[in-house]
């Protein structure tokens, strides 16, 4: 079939297999050009491995560190009439490149929140890989089923405490407008923490420890975004922010309960980027379009792969990595420093429907959005007839 992007709101409902493969190869080429990581982990588990920061983590571990990688994701396979999800094609391409390079790579597809998947990972590690020395937790999901009770929790993107009015950009309508968000109630806050907080991260580390699959000195990190004043009402001071605070609690709990293995657990604070998750969050398309403009002009812009390579190189491969005052691995200072934020705030105050495309880098935002799904990538023939049935 000839595959063109089908965009519905903040999501693309199809993906291009050759474009996804090209995207994966570009990221591999980037980390290989940076040079080999020293003291790199050799057995890496990536929970949420198929897109965004999780995929970049797997690529960096394998192709800059030579690691064996086991990935967990939840992706839809292709059919004769429909394409797979982008993560499916990304994973297929990663497998092909890893095996060609002589690297062990295995991926398990299913619900990472469930007991069954945790057991599948344990069985696979015991049979094929052994103890892990790095666990990346990079899940992004709007809902989670409690593995003990079966209760389904749903996350909510709302401020906490009081209503919030601000600007946003509707990518579907090409419209800059004001948005009003009502505050979350207690139940919505708690459900968001259940989905996006640290409980499942802890359960993964507990399961691996109980199965004696954590190497001595194993490191683990969960990814977060903190932001600054412009995004705090929908991030730091919102339901998402409460969930992210729970990641800090979980990191401390993991360190305490896994002291016998000298496990190091960190929350890694990364920069705002176009991802499938961030595209769904009010305010973020406008904010990211503006920071792309400012940071590209400053020469400080980074995508997923650049951020993650630096995280590995500067933090995760160090015996005692430098942290911020909250104990986090802080990687987004190029975005959140006062000088850069002042420029972004100035643009934010000026931006209207009439000048949005002049003041922002929405073209860059949209390119990165399409790239997530394998579209708008140089060198890919999008007029060609493509086979959507790609297996791992």
Residues labelled as active-site residues: 235
Question: CB-hemisphere CA count at 13 Å for 20?
Answer: 29
Give the C-alpha distances (Å, rounded to integers) separating 102 from 16, 62, 99, 183, 312.
26, 10, 5, 52, 21
With the CA atoms of 13, 87, 251 and 155 taken in that order, what torsion angle do they form, in degrees rounded to the nearest 10?
20
Provide the b/e sequence for 79-108 (b: ≥16 CB within 10 Å): eeeebbbbbbbbbbbbbbbbeeeebebbbb
Query: Which residues are within 8 A (CB) of 181 and not within 5 positions of it... i.e. 6 or more apart?
Result: 157, 158, 159, 163, 164, 165, 234, 282
Q: 197 is written with which tokens?
A: 């907080």
Alpha-carbon distances of 200 from 69, 111, 380, rounded to whole Å = 20, 12, 38
Show Cβ contacts of residue 259 under 8 Å, excluding neighbours closer than 6 positions. Answer: none
Residue 362 gets which letter from DSSP? H
DSSP 172-240: TTTEEEEEEEPPP-HHHHHHHHHHHSSHHHHHHHHHHHHTT-EEEEEEEEEEE----TTTTTTTTTBHH
Q: Is 12 in contact with 372 (CB distance < 8 Å)?
A: yes
Residues 159, 108: Cα–Cα separation, whole Å: 35
């Amino acid at each position: 079939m000839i595959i063109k992007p089908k965009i519905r709101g903040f999501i693309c409902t199809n993906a291009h297999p050759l474009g996804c493969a090209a995207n994966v190869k570009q990221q591999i080429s980037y980390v290989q050009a940076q040079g080999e990581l020293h003291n790199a982990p050799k057995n890496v588990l990536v929970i949420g491995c198929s897109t965004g920061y999780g995929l970049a983590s797997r690529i960096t571990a394998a192709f800059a560190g030579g690691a064996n990688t086991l990935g967990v994701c939840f992706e839809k396979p292709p059919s004769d009439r429909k394409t797979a999800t982008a993560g499916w094609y990304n994973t297929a391409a990663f497998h092909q490149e890893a095996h060609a390079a002589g690297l062990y790579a295995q991926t398990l597809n299913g619900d990472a929140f469930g007991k069954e998947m945790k057991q599948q990972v344990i069985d696979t590690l015991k049979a094929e890989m052994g103890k892990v020395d790095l666990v990346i937790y990079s899940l992004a999901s709007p809902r989670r089923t409690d593995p003990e009770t079966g209760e389904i929790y749903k996350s909510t993107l709302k401020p906490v405490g009081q209503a919030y009015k601000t600007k946003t950009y509707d990518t579907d309508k090409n419209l800059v407008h004001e948005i009003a968000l009502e505050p979350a109630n207690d139940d919505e806050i708690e459900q968001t923490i259940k989905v996006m907080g640290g409980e499942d991260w802890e359960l993964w580390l507990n399961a691996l420890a109980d199965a004696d699959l954590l190497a001595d000195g194993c490191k683990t990190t969960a990814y977060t975004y903190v932001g600054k004043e412009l995004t705090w009402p929908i991030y730091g001071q919102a339901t998402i922010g409460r969930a992210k605070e729970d990641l800090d609690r979980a990191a401390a709990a993991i360190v305490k309960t896994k002291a016998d293995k000298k496990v190091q657990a960190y929350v890694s604070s990364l920069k705002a980027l176009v991802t499938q998750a961030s595209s769904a969050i009010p305010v973020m398309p406008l904010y990211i379009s503006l920071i792309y403009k400012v940071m590209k002009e400053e020469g400080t812009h980074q995508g997923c792969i650049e951020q993650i390579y630096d995280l590995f190189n500067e933090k995760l491969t160090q015996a005692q990595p430098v942290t911020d005052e909250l104990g986090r691995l802080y990687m987004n200072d190029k975005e959140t420093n006062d000088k850069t934020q002042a420029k972004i705030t100035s643009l934010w105050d000026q931006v209207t429907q009439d000048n949005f495309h002049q003041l922002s880098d929405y073209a860059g935002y949209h390119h990165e959005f399409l790239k997530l799904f394998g579209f708008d990538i140089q060198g890919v023939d999008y007029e060609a007839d493509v086979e959507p049935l790609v297996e791992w």
